[in-house]
Chains A and B, each alone.
Chain A
């Protein structure tokens, strides 16, 4: 583990679904996803955190477009955080349906983005 408190793994060309499947197979507990808007037009970074027997494991994915595959069908614990990131950062998690979580029906997506409507 590095000084940041997480064991970060290089995902290489693995998809979020492949990582999630591997984590579930090891009985790791899903912790959270942190979305970060990168400066300029660099897109977004999604950091998936899993707990394996008290050890925090991190997998970072760079999104150039605002979409990524959902892992909700693999891990139901991701339901609310995927919905929150969808509303806060306008990320489309492909393969799932949404209901409003923090926002109300009809509100604009992307409330956490620096530039509205990006």
Chain B
């Protein structure tokens, strides 16, 4: 006999509200429906009422985890419309901020995944490690969540002593190699809870157009930092981890390996950071009429901003945001079909969903 089990909109496994209605045959999920919109704030519409300074502060609040990525993508689009080019040091600082944000996002996700596996000790270990990254972000920007770093033509704050941050990178890398990666890859708890569970086959990943670590764990190798470099990524050497299994363990491995690659990128950006200005100053900004598109590889995957402007207008005519979770979430349906009901909280969490981003 089939019966329906709702998960959400309020549920211990969900960090923010959304709803997954599952049709079950016994303990096995036979189909599922997703419901979003519980965090809908009408931000795109609101953006049309803000000027080019206010809109940056507004879009920073689309997401509480990857706030920096949203302003980076928006500013890149506005720079295309204004013809303003950030100085080289600003591009390096943008890379540092983006990678620090990826680090704290991935470590946070590892902690939440550990909690959902019933592995509370690992949850605490991950969050203690994440604090080190948050301390660095706070030291650079003065803030822990909304960093206010990006502006048209560069960044608002300099990193005065980049080499001083190398100690944190070493510490993080050491902890990942010594503790987190071995436990996640070899412990019986992690293996039993993650291997062969929530599989998204390569063909389905391509068909659903999923992005970021979710795609790379299903054998789709695209990473915008490599495929369409922005900021100073074209000057960085790094690998793009790809796994083929498509299960929760593969998504976990991809993120763990990406933490190592982020450390590698950070070390290069901090040691090679060029001297000079970190923004273009407070000169007059003139927008040309048109639409500019900007894409960035956020921790969860590709973020796309489409920004339209009319000459002589202070406000954008349109700001459209396509977040990675918006593209990844429909794939949860295919991941949970055939899964045991008890595994579904971990499966839905394995895409590292951000519901506020999705709803905007």
Contact = CB atoms under 8 A, between A and B. Distances in A.
Interface in B157-183: none
B80 A3 contact: yes
A111 B42 contact: yes
Interface residues of B, number: 40
Given A34-B320, A77-B207, A80-B326, A102 B308 contact: no
Nearest to B39: A102
Contacts of B306: 32, 34, 47, 49
Interface in B200-247: 206-209, 222, 224, 226-228
Give the interface SS of chain B, mostly helix, strand, loop or mixed.
Answer: mixed
Give the interface SS of chain A, mostly helix, strand, loop or mixed.
Answer: mixed
Contacts of B37: 100-104
A4 B308 contact: no
B322 A32 contact: yes
B36 A102 contact: yes
Chain A interface residue bracket vs B: 35 or more
Interface stretch (A12-20, A51-59, A61-69, A90-98): A51-59
Interface of B: 33, 35-37, 40, 42, 44-45, 77, 80-81, 83, 206-209, 222, 224, 226-228, 290-295, 302, 304, 306, 308, 317-318, 320, 322, 326-327, 329-330, 359
Interface of A: 3-6, 29-32, 34-37, 47, 49, 51, 53-56, 58, 75-77, 79-81, 88, 99-104, 111-112
22 contacts: A4-B291, A4-B293, A5-B80, A5-B292, A30-B209, A31-B209, A34-B291, A36-B291, A47-B291, A55-B228, A56-B228, A56-B293, A58-B293, A75-B209, A76-B208, A77-B330, A80-B327, A80-B329, A81-B322, A102-B37, A103-B37, A103-B40
